[in-house]
Amino acid sequence: MADVRDQRVIGELRARIGAIEGGGRRRCGVLPFGIAVLDRGLPGGGLALGALHEVNGEGPDLAHAAAPALFVAGVLARLEGPVLWCLRRGDLFAPALAEVGLHPDRVIYAESGGDAAVLPVMEEGLRYSGLAAVVGEAARLPLVAGKRLQLAAESSGAMALVIRRCRRRPEGIAEPTAAVTRWRVAVLPSAPLAMPGLGRPRWRLELLRCRGGGEGAWIVEACDAAGRLAVAADVADRPAAPAARRAGG
């Protein structure tokens, strides 16, 4: 009888310790992309809610700089609720976000005037439980600041996304990160059409790091009006090319 009682006490202590270590974090679920080759590489089958995600571009030119923002907007279009978008300066083109499903009425813009204020504003926003997600644009994501954002996202249940906006091709993607996932989005030529015109934009989407998951690279058609990606039709039957493993990710 004493052994049974001791085991019960030990079980209760373990549960209490787990609650303390969890810091009151919520089980928030995931947001699937709806594409099997992407979702099966992510824990739970989708992009974690209540977590921090990092999105990088391929370079500083306009097309490559816009792609990460449109990728993030497509993710947010498939969530419900208001979004806080923290800007370094007022150069975000809202009609482009609307074209991938993120309606302007859902977005609250906070212009910080520089990198130094973006991450603290994000953290403050994440501590407010009424938001679906908080986005920040910054050149760097220091490890300590990332950990604070991750803890704040876990506490509120809101998704946190940092778009790395750099003046040159970001080399910092080899740095350690507190983000649950780290992505890179690069612009590719559109698929040729049978008649003159512009096809749906294409991206090379790379999952560079995923805590508890895999890595990979895919050729996808950019977000449509509902925020959804699609595997490019002419490469849909090919195996996904694995992204090169990077140290420190």
pLDDT tens for 15-24 read 454 444 444 4
The alpha carbons of the chain give a radius of gyration, in whole angstroms, of 20
Q: How high is the pLDDT of residue 195?
A: 55
pLDDT digits (tens, 9 = 90+) for 47-74: 999 999 999 998 766 667 889 999 999 9
How high is the pLDDT of residue 6? 55
Spatial distance between the Cα atoms of 6 and 230, rounded to a whole number of angstroms: 55
Pairing of strands 181-188, 52-57: parallel
Tens-digit pLDDT profile for residues 186-209: 999 877 665 554 667 899 999 999
The residue ranking higher by pLDDT, 236 or 81, is 81
Place of tokens 């989708």: 46
What is the C-alpha separation between 229 and 220, in angstroms, rounded? 7
pLDDT value of position 81:
95
Please give the full DSSP string across 2-19, using - where no structure is assigned. Answer: HHHHHHHHHHHHHHHHHH
Whole-angstrom Cα distance, residue 165 to residue 168? 9
List the alpha helices (DSSP H) in 115-199. Answer: 115-126, 143-156
pLDDT value of residue 10 = 56
- What the chain holds in terms of domains, given with CATH numbers, is 26-190+197-235 (3.40.50.300)
Please report the pLDDT score of residue 19 as a whole number: 45
From the CB of residue 215, how many other CB atoms can be counted at a distance below 10 Å? 18
Average pLDDT over residues 99-125: 92
Q: For residue 76, what are its two tokens?
A: 């947010």
Name residues whose C-beta falls within 8 Å of residue 165's C-beta, 6 or more positions apart in sequence. Answer: 57, 65, 68, 88, 137, 138, 139
Which helix (H) or strand (E) element contains residue 83? Answer: strand 83-87
Instruction: State how far the alpha carbon of 225 is from the alpha carbons of 41, 102, 180, 230, in Å.
Output: 25, 9, 27, 12
Q: Helix (H, G, I), strand (E, B), or coil: what is residue 206?
A: strand
**Structure confidence at residue 11 (pLDDT):** 54
For residue 79, the SS3 value is coil
CA angle (111 as vertex; 110, 114 as ends), nearest 5: 130
Give percent of the chain above pLDDT 70.
73
What is the model's pLDDT at position 58? 84
pTM: 0.80
Dist. CA 76–CA 21, nearest whole Å: 30
What is the rounded average pLDDT for all residues in the chain? 82
Q: 172 pLDDT band (50/70/90 cuts)? A: low
**What are the residues whose beta carbons fall under 8 Å from the beta carbon of 27, sequence distance 6 or more?**
none
Q: What angle do CA 212, 217, 220 make, to 5 degrees?
A: 120
